[in-house]
Amino acid sequence: MRPRKLPKEGMLGAFEGLEAREDGKFTKSMAYSIKQAFDAIRDKVNGYLSFGDGVQGSWSGNFDGYVKDFKFPSAPDTEVVVLHELGRAPRFIWVALQDRAGSVYVSNYAGWGPQRIFLKSSVADMEVTLVLF
């Protein structure tokens, strides 16, 4: 399984950390560094959680999910295998986009695994973007 692509939006960068002074004192610059790190977290969480950029095969932003574009076959209500790279069986599916009216529904839930799920569509040839959680 290849690693998922990180989205360009919604992710926090790594905190570079602080070096302790030899005398053990806490300085104003240390306090400022911690404040900047906290502000970055606050600014992402308070109204800016993201589902990522929606690119096929990418992480779903700040959420542990996977984005998958898929086209159902030309016969409605046909069970299909949808491959994914989540690395675990998803618990939820969100149909983020679909090109026509219809329903996507679960099939063979007991057979879901870290690289595949089973779904059906109530209409033929429906193209969808799924987010698996």
Does residue 91 fall inside a structural domain? yes
How many domains does the chain contain in total? 1
Q: In the numeric block, which tokens belong to residue 12?
A: 């926090």
Q: Render each residue's pLDDT in the chain as its tens digit; 133 residues.
A: 566 666 666 666 677 777 878 888 888 888 898 898 888 888 877 777 777 777 887 777 778 888 999 999 999 999 999 999 889 999 999 999 999 999 999 999 999 999 999 999 999 999 999 999 9
- As a 3-state breakdown, the chain gives helix, strand, coil percent values, each rounded to 5, of 15, 30, 55
SS3 at position 110: helix
Q: Considering only CA atoms, which of 74, 69, 128, 73 is closest in space to residue 103?
A: 128
Give the global pTM. Answer: 0.70
Give the pLDDT confidence score for residue 70 in this predicted structure: 96
Give the pLDDT confidence score for residue 71 in this predicted structure: 97
Does residue 68 fall inside a structural domain? yes
Which pLDDT tens digit goes with each residue over 50-61?
777 778 877 777
Does residue 120 fall inside a structural domain? yes
Q: In the numeric block, which tokens belong to residue 118?
A: 């089973």
- The Cα–Cα gap between 45 and 5 comes to 21
Give the pLDDT confidence score for residue 50 in this predicted structure: 77
Does residue 35 fall inside a structural domain? no
Parent domain of 99:
59-132
